[in-house]
């Protein structure tokens, strides 16, 4: 039934190795255009999920910290009320949804996002001819002038929900896997139904290490992080 689920993700920072397999999987699954070097130099690269790196300590006791950042799918999303054409809305299942054919590219939402995870298409997407056949037919290709960002792979959510309705059954825990979570070799990203107290994601969200990114802003994200475990010699 619509609204019975509340989708969310838990990211265990103790497991993340910064390999960026999630980034590559997201690009392939969601038809994200290839970023030329100039896009990075001008801060116009599109990365639905990015790995931020932080360095602590001094050589030879230098430590790297890896921190995956994606759309937090906030329950009180600051991007939603500023869109003048209602291209953004919050679904009954906790998703921050972007309606591409309504977007007129004002970029108000991107400017109002404290996580900097909404991206404007400055150019029409291009791929080498050898890669055009690998585009995902379930995901629209965004054109110049549109905002885009992580959708929690909504095409996969919709596919499983349709199949479950057809088979007249409940969605099984772990049956829906966004590309990033499916690909992570260390199982650092876990996706599921936060409304189900028995789901794996709910159990992880109850871990004493849990916290939300910039939760002091009151955005109430549906992405929950688990702090790294510090081992003191």
Q: What is the CATH number of the domain that holds 153?
A: 3.30.70.20
Q: pLDDT, tens digit, for every residue of 209-219?
A: 999 999 999 99
Q: What integer pLDDT is reported at residue 194 of this predicted model?
A: 97
Q: pLDDT, tens digit, for every residue of 135-190?
A: 999 999 999 999 999 999 999 999 999 999 999 999 999 999 999 999 999 999 99
Mean pLDDT value across residues 205-228: 94
Assessment of whether the complete model's pTM goes beyond 0.75: yes
Tokens of 102: 């309504």
- Determine, yes or no, domain membership for 232: no
Tokens of 51: 């790995």
Determine what percent of the chain is predicted with pLDDT higher than 70.
97
- Determine, yes or no, domain membership for 37: yes
Look at strands 63-70 and 49-56 and give their pairing: antiparallel
- Residue 94's domain comprises 7-226
Q: What are phi and psi of 74, to 5 degrees?
A: -65, 140
- Determine, yes or no, domain membership for 233: no
């Amino acid at each position: 039934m619509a609204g019975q689920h509340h989708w969310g993700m838990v990211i265990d920072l103790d497991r993340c190795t910064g390999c960026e397999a999630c980034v590559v999987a997201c690009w392939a699954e969601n038809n994200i255009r290839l970023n030329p070097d100039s896009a990075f130099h001008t801060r116009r690269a599109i990365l639905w999920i990015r790995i931020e790196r932080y360095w602590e300590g001094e050589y030879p006791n230098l430590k790297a910290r890896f921190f995956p950042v994606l759309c937090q799918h906030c329950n009180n999303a600051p991007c939603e009320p500023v869109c003048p054409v209602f291209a953004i809305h919050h679904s009954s299942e906790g998703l921050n949804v972007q309606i591409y054919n309504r977007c007129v590219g004002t970029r108000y939402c991107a400017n109002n996002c404290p996580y900097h995870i909404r991206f404007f298409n400055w150019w029409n997407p291009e791929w080498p001819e050898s890669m055009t056949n690998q585009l995902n037919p379930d995901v629209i290709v965004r054109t110049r002038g549109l905002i885009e960002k992580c959708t929690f792979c909504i095409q996969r959510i919709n596919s499983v929900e349709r199949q479950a309705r057809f088979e007249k059954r409940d969605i099984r825990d772990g049956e829906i896997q966004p590309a990033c979570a499916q690909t992570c070799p260390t199982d650092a990203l876990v996706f599921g139904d936060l409304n189900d107290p028995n789901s794996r994601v709910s159990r992880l969200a109850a871990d004493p290490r849990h916290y939300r990114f910039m939760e002091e802003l009151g955005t109430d994200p549906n992405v929950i992080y688990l702090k790294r475990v510090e081992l003191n010699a």
